[in-house]
Amino acid sequence: MKLGLFGFPVGHSRSPRLFARLSRELGRPIAYAAVAAEPGTLAQVVEGARAAGWRGANVTVPLKLEALGLAGRLTSAARAVGAVNVLRFDRVVVGHNTDGEGLRDALARARVSARGRAALVFGAGGAARAAGWALAKDGARTVRFASRTLSRARKTARELAALFPRTRFSAGAPARADVWVQATPLGMKGFADETPAPPSLPGPEAAVDLVYGRLTAFQRDAAARGARVSDGAPMLAFQALRAWEFWDAPLGAHKRAALAETLIEEIRR
Ligand code: NAP
């Protein structure tokens, strides 16, 4: 199957390695190419890929909104998250988002249950919205977004509230919660490695950092406050597997979980 990734830049992406490993594990040929597409050129790049017989593609920064506008059809997850990270080339281009599903899978793997609990999400961008979606799907009682830009956090809270009436969404300063999700780039290469959690905030039971492949200040600090901590590698693995399933066919929970372990190992290598 011909697949790939559109982003700008794409040199740092782990996706080609992940899909090469998946191809070996599944015994299925996957040709996966990373294509650097400058903002504003995605439609053209997609046309080229379709003409070359691609089945679909992952979409990464900064093209997730452009992909949302370009898709002829959107899945409910893509509409809810307001961003597209996977395209499938059917008769029309179908836009989907697997970040939320990937996080739900990762939370289940870490035995973190949000049901009836209070959650705090740091950030208000695409990954934070996907986290809000995942936490609400898992039955969180409250989800609060804490971001530098309050208006962005408010908009995210308001839009998700319209979709999940049983979860109370809010935006503002970080407040006590049972589960933290770190969805800012803090701790990523090229960004400051500091926690967005104020020192006075009591630690949660569980803290998930969406940054992967490194032990960040957020992870160290949450652990010091008594939390069970995980990084973003499981979510990255699961969102890739969910993308594969969107292009091919459902794997089933058992096979998905087993494949996720090999991909997590690949990410951490
Ligand atoms: P994004 O749309 O650019 O949003 C980033 C958010 O972080 C915004 O709310 C932004 O706030 C905030 N932020 C940026 N720099 C900050 C700083 N120095 N201090 C405090 N807040 C800051 O990015 P995204 O797509 O949501 O991605 C966020 C992170 O999640 C990235 O590290 C990405 O790699 C990771 N991620 C991981 C996975 C995975 O599978 N593990 C999947 C998706 C994303 P302002 O509005 O104030 O700038």
Please give the domain boundaries of the chain with CATH numbers for all domains: 2-97+234-267 (3.40.50.10860), 101-231 (3.40.50.720)
**85-104: b or e for each residue (b if 16 or more CB lie within 10 Å)?**
bbbbbeeebbbbbbbbbbbb
CA distance 82 to 40: 18
CA distance 18 to 263: 6
> Which of 2, 1, 4 has the alpha carbon at shortest distance from 57?
4
Catalytic site residues?
A: 64
pLDDT of res. 12? 87
Q: Is 239 in the pocket of ligand 1 (CB under 6 A)?
A: yes
Under 8 Å between Cβ of 187 and 218 = yes
pLDDT of res. 269? 87
Residue 45 C-beta-side C-alpha neighbours within 13 Å:
25
Give the Å distance between the CA of 123 and the centre of ligand 1: 6
Q: Is 112 in the pocket of ligand 1 (CB under 6 A)?
A: no
pLDDT of res. 192? 97
CA distance 65 to 53: 24
Q: Is 128 in the pocket of ligand 1 (CB under 6 A)?
A: yes
Give the Å distance between the CA of 269 and the centre of ligand 1: 23
Give the Å distance between the CA of 247 and the centre of ligand 1: 26
Give the Å distance between the CA of 185 and the centre of ligand 1: 4
pLDDT of res. 105? 98
Q: What is the mean pLDDT of each run of 10 residues along the chain (269 residues)?
A: 97 94 98 97 98 98 96 97 97 98 98 98 96 98 97 97 97 98 95 97 98 96 98 98 98 98 95
Collapsing DSSP to helix, strand or coil, 58 comes out as strand
CA distance 144 to 172: 7
pTM value is 0.97
212 CA closest ligand 1 atom index = 41
Q: Is 188 in the pocket of ligand 1 (CB under 6 A)?
A: yes
- For the chain, how are helix, strand and coil distributed in percent, rounded to 5? 40, 20, 40
For atom 37 of ligand 1, which residue has the closest CA?
210
Q: Is 236 in the pocket of ligand 1 (CB under 6 A)?
A: yes
For atom 1 of ligand 1, which residue has the closest CA?
125
126 CA closest ligand 1 atom index = 26
Under 8 Å between Cβ of 108 and 97 = no
> Which of 40, 43, 82 has the alpha carbon at shortest distance from 65?
82
Distances (CA, A) of 78 to 64, 101, 156: 10, 11, 14
124 CA closest ligand 1 atom index = 9
List, in sequence order, every residue forming a beta bridge with 145; answer none if it has no partner: 121, 171
Give the Å distance between the CA of 73 and the centre of ligand 1: 26
